[in-house]
Amino acid sequence: MIRIMQNTDVDIVVQIEKSVQTHPWSRQQFVESLNSYQCTVIESQNRVVGFCILQPVLDEANLLLMAVDPKMQGQGLGYELLNASIDQLKNQPVQIFLEVRESNKAAISLYEKTGFHQIDLRRNYYPTPEGGREHAVIMVKTCTDDFASLF
């Protein structure tokens, strides 16, 4: 089941974030995001196992953060969560943007499967645990087919 994130979900979402990110968001950032962004979660067996945070901006949106519990990855939950979260955007964006670590091949594959494609590379964007920097792949999904059907 995919639904809007609640305050009661924040602790488990923070745990998931810490399990997948080298520089995770703080609990406070998640709490603040509930009022500012579209935050959704996916449940499996009545337990939150993933989350997606989208930032609607006029006729666009930014995918700020998304993660699935590592124990639940590879089951299509990320694909289901991302598609449902995009469908729930109230601003019906023409384009959705995201940045992802160049080394995160699984995420890039998921995004491509969902209709995103690379448009640029932001060099030395992400810090690495070793103290270096890693490139960010900038991707976009154009929703013009959906947008055109509104007219």
Instruction: Supply the DSSP string of the chain, one letter for each residue.
Output: -EEE--GGGHHHHHHHHHHH-SSPPPHHHHHHHHHHSEEEEEEETTEEEEEEEEEEETTEEEEEEEEE-GGGTTSSHHHHHHHHHHHT-TT--SEEEEEEETT-HHHHHHHHHTT-EEEEEEEEEEE-TTS-EEEEEEEEEE-HHHHHTT-
Give me the active site residues, please. Answer: 99, 111
